[in-house]
Structures are given as structure tokens and as C-alpha cells.
Amino acid sequence: MLYSSLVEVFQQFESTTSRIRLTDIVSKLFKGSPINLLPVIIYMLIGKVFPSWDSRKLDVSGSTIFAALKQATGADNPTIIKAFKETGDIGSTAELIYKTKKPIALFSKQLTISDVYNGFVDIARVTGPGSRKKKERILLGLLNSASSSEVKYILRNVIGDMRHGVNEGIVEEAIAKAFQIPVDLVQRSYMIANDLGLVAQVAKNSGITGLKQLKLTIMRPIKPMLAQSVSDIKEALSEIKKPAFEWKLDGARAQIHKQKDKIKIFSRGTEDITQAFPEIVKSLKEGIVANEAILEGEIVAIDPLNSKPRPFQFVLRRFRRKYSVSELEKIIPVKLYLFDLLYLNRNSFLNKPFTERRNTLEKIIVQNPKIELTKLVITNEISVAQTMFNEAIEIGHEGLMIKDPNASYIPGIRGKKMLKVKAALETLDLAVIEADYGYGRKHKWLSSYALVAMDETSGKLVAVGRVFTGLSDEELEEITKKLKEIAIQEIGRSVIVRPEIVLEVGFGEIQKSPVYDSGFALRFPRIIAIREDLSLEDIDSLQKIKELYKRQTKAQSGAINQIKTP
């Protein structure tokens, strides 16, 4: 199947913003695609190369892209920079240059989808010394064979930003339409498999029957079930009549997979973080009484002097592994708090109620100094829950989780079956798309960051403001290095980057704003943490910002009315 046929579909996307029309186009594409190419096509559609559970990455820097583009076309730096300033997009930049400057080497062989995908696989395979030049040569090979329209989307895939509005939700709907499958079954299948390409293949090959047979797979992480925020315990009890209350821990979400003596630990973003926590792995081997299991918990940093929990940033330092792991074990000891069971000895527990999952979890865990079950109380009494909340805060935790005892586990969904209430103000997880160098003492660091959220309706990133406070000098140096590694282009004092770094951001309030395309801006934003455990898929949505704004406005209105009341 020629790559140009996929490009023609991409071009159709750019002439419409209708979700129904986009779904129709994608559905038609899936119907006519060979079954072996469906996964590749799907991930190219949404700006990826591999499913999220796959650890392979392209890791192609902006400088590598521009070097390959220069060699392919003979264009000089001023020409490329001028084109980038005009378009603001590396793909459109390449297309513009290809139209005005004939490529130096243009092979007669037309690119196939497999050619492009195999090129990406080869790029991901290259690591170690000299890898940048090797990646550049492979990319150059693709560019030399590509037309002006093809190179546009090849480079957009490389940076992971397709800019055409087709997101996972549209792909799910298109799979359902193409193969006459109920969309809720497609969504459920994706939650279980964590691989849209596999879901599409099964849907095309085996239909409803095949999708219903999809099961959790050991050592392939799934997206975690997420919680909605509530303002207080009273609001929580209005949503869930007699909930299970647990301490909300200030740590890193962890999904643990055990198969015989093999243990894998995955982050909330499904990244393999096993090597960062060898002491937890050892304790899990001794503490899980089961042959196969998938568990959920939270890894919390512990103060060695008083055994109290440390702030979340300490756990993230274990992710970064700046020192040897054995040294970090002593500097930042951690503890795993377990709270859920998803799979046990070839049986999925996703559809079982929370209380059954929890009760079974308690039976298979032998607690030890490194592993403990979270405290849990089922009650509908505000006073009991408030006492538990106060206790959690006093110890050093964030607040409470509130769970429906009868709820099944729904991967990747933020619903009202699981809520959270925190003592601290709400924060947002946002991606960085641009950074500026600072002034004075900070002149050598990228210290001001443009932030984006995800518009779930359009599937596009939308700007919500900038942030420039909250990081230490050490963190500024570290994030500057990371931003340079994912830079697309430097323009003056600004650096355009791939949206891969996620910041947890606190703020004074949310304001309506005509300046940003989200329609909102954060007032007095400050960086709480660099979220090493999150990826672009995990950032907060525009819909959440709208909900927080609505809640904030309601609270402000109530306060004004109290003042007016004599």
C-alpha cells in the first residue's frame, strides 16, 4: 500500500473540522486497508509509531531533522528558519522547501507505508555513541524518496504532532463504524488491550466475538482508572452514598505485574520503571502470594529520620536516576502502598466490584517494611471521613480517595466512581511546547515555558499560558538539557520543542482570556513538579479547566453573596 494513499487521507482531514466527517474518512480507510497494516496506519494517524506500552522511541532531535532536510534539499539555515517562521510547523516547513527547492536526490521508487514504518523502526533501534548521525542518515533516506506532501507527514510523525484533529476517540468510533461493532465494546477492548492497532485487527478479523475474547496480558500495562476531583467530603457523599475512603498518597502511581519470579513495575504513563526500584521488586517477590497478578499501588518516598512520607518530588528523583540506584536507595528510601487488584492467576478482576478486588488483594499480600496496604474505611458518616482526612494530612498525605464499593475497574477513564479530595488547591498537568531563555542569573537556562492542555473534542493542543517560577537552579539546568534534546528549532531566545515534558502547575485562579486559543489563562501559575512519570497522553484536558473555572466561579459567587447577606 503506497504511503501517498495515506497522505491523501491526511490531506482530507485538513479540509474539515467535522467530527462526523473525520470519522467517515477514517472508517473508509480502515475498511480498505490490509489487516497487517492496520496497526501501523492507526498509529501514524494519531502521531505515534508504537503503542504506548511499547518502550521503543524515535528520539530524533530538531537539529537532526533540520540537518537531514538540508542534505535532502540543499537549503541553507536562513531558508529553513524563514520557512519555519512562516509556518510554525516542521512538516509544513519541509513541504514549503520541497516545493521551492528540488531535492538533491530523489529516488524513482515510490514509498510504501511499510517503507516509512520500517524506517521509523530502524531509527528507534539506533542507540549509543554516534546514534544521532545514524538516525540522520536513515531519515535522509526517507526524505530523499518522499514527495513534498509526503515529507510533511513523515516529519510530523517523527515529532508526534499530526495537526489534523484525529484523536483516539475518533479512531475508536471509526473502528466501530468500519466493522459494525458497538463503540462501547471497541472502547472497552482498547482499555483492556491498550493497543488500538490490535483492537482494529481483531475487529476486522473476528468482529464482536473476537473483541469479547480480548483479555489482560501480563507484562503489558493498561491505562489506570482515574479520579475526579470534588471540593469536600460532603460533595463526595452526594455522589457515592456509602463509599470506601482511602488515604490519598503523595507518590507515584505504580502498576505491578508478576509472573512467577518476574516482576515489572510500570508508571502511570505505562513506562517501565522496574530498574529504578530494586528494593520494591525484591519485596514484591516475597510479598505476593500468587503465580500471576497485576496490582496497583503508589510508591511513596519516606523520610529515613521519622518514617513520614516525603513530597512527591523525592519519588521523581528516583525516576531520574542521576546517581547510582544503590546510592539513591539510601538517600531516598521508598515504600509501596497497594490498593487494587486487576488480575490474578489467569483471571481478570476488572469487572468485579472494588470491595471484592480489595478483599482478594488482602489475601495474597504479605506486608513487610517495603509493602503495605492502604488504610481503608467504608462509611457514610461525614465525621468519620473527616477524621480520616485530618489524620491523612497530619501524617503527610494529600487527602482522601473516595471509591464506589460496587464499581468495576475502568481503565483510562476519569469518572464519578472514584473521587478525590485534597487539602491543597487543585493543580494541572500541562505539556511544554516552547521555552525561552531567562535573563540575568538565569540567562543560560530555559526558564519560561509555554503550556498546553488537550482539547478532547478536537484532539488538538491548546495554549493556557506561560509559567516561569517554581524550579530550583538544579531543576532549571536539568529541564534545559531535556528541552534542548527535544527541540525542533531555536528562534532567537525561544526554543520550539516536541510536547513531551509535562509540568504539574499550581495557580491562583483560572481566568477567561482571548489571548490563548483555549479561551482561558492561569493566573499566578507556578511549577509544582516536573512530572517524569507522565507523558503527553496524561496531560489534563480543556474540559477539566472549564470544570475548574465553573467550580471557581460558583465558589466566588457564594462568597460574594455571604458578604452581601447582613
Q: Which of 399, 422, 411, 426 is nearest to 296 (CA)?
A: 411
pLDDT number for residue 163: 85
Residues 391 and 434 in one domain: no
Phi and psi, residue 327, nearest 5°:
-70, -40
Residues 59 and 139 in one domain: yes
In a domain? residue 564: no
Model confidence pTM above 0.75: yes
pLDDT number for residue 86: 83
In a domain? residue 172: no
pLDDT number for residue 526: 95
Beta partners for residue 400, in sequence order:
247, 421
CATH of the domain at 112: 1.10.3260.10
In a domain? residue 60: yes
In a domain? residue 191: no
The pLDDT tens digits for 229-255 are: 898 999 999 999 999 999 999 999 999
pLDDT number for residue 460: 84
Question: What percent of the residues of the chain are helix, what percent strand, and what percent coil, each to the nearest 5?
Answer: 45, 25, 35
Residues 400 and 434 in one domain: no
pLDDT number for residue 15: 86
The pLDDT tens digits for 125-143 are: 999 899 999 999 999 999 9
Residues 406 and 494 in one domain: no
Q: Which of 135, 152, 248, 417 is catalytic?
A: 248
Q: Which domain-ending residue is among 372, 407, 422?
A: 422
Could you tell me the CA-to-CA distances from 166 to 26, 97, 228, 497, 530 in Å, in that order? 9, 26, 25, 21, 28
Residues 298 and 373 in one domain: yes
Q: How far apart are CA 414 and CA 429, in angstroms?
A: 14
Residues 499 and 467 in one domain: yes
Helices (H), 19-112: 19-31, 38-45, 62-73, 77-87, 90-100
- Count structural domains, the chain: 3
Strands (E), 130-274: 226-229, 244-248, 252-259, 262-267
Strand order in the sheet with 244-248: 226-229, 414-422, 399-403, 244-248, 376-378
Residues 416 and 436 in one domain: no
Q: Which domain-ending residue is among 403, 422, 441?
A: 422
pLDDT number for residue 50: 93
In a domain? residue 2: no
In a domain? residue 333: yes
Residues 240 and 378 in one domain: yes
pLDDT in tens, the chain (566 residues): 999 999 999 999 988 889 999 999 999 999 999 999 999 999 999 999 999 888 888 989 888 998 999 999 889 888 888 888 788 788 999 999 988 876 665 555 789 999 999 999 999 999 989 999 999 999 999 999 999 899 999 999 998 888 888 989 999 999 999 999 999 999 999 999 999 999 999 999 999 999 999 999 999 999 999 999 898 999 999 999 999 999 999 999 999 999 999 999 999 988 899 999 999 999 999 999 999 999 999 999 999 888 899 988 889 888 866 557 888 888 899 999 999 999 999 999 999 999 999 999 999 999 999 999 999 999 999 999 999 999 999 999 999 999 999 999 999 888 899 999 998 778 999 999 999 999 988 999 999 999 999 998 887 899 999 999 999 999 999 999 999 989 888 888 999 998 999 999 999 899 999 999 999 999 999 999 999 888 888 999 999 999 999 988 877 665 445 545 54
Extract the C-alpha cell encoding 505: 502547575
In a domain? residue 71: yes
Residues 383 and 492 in one domain: no
**What is the residue range of 508's domain?**
428-552
CATH of the domain at 467: 2.40.50.140
In a domain? residue 332: yes
Residues 247 and 107 in one domain: no
Q: How far apart are CA 156 and CA 150, in angstroms?
A: 10
Whether residue 460 lies in the annotated active site:
no
Residues 437 and 417 in one domain: no
Q: How far apart are CA 431 and CA 536, in angstroms?
A: 7
- At 214, which amino acid appears? L
Residues 269 and 348 in one domain: yes
Phi and psi, residue 37, nearest 5°:
-95, -10
Q: Which domain-ending residue is among 159, 180, 207?
A: 159
CATH of the domain at 293: 3.30.470.30
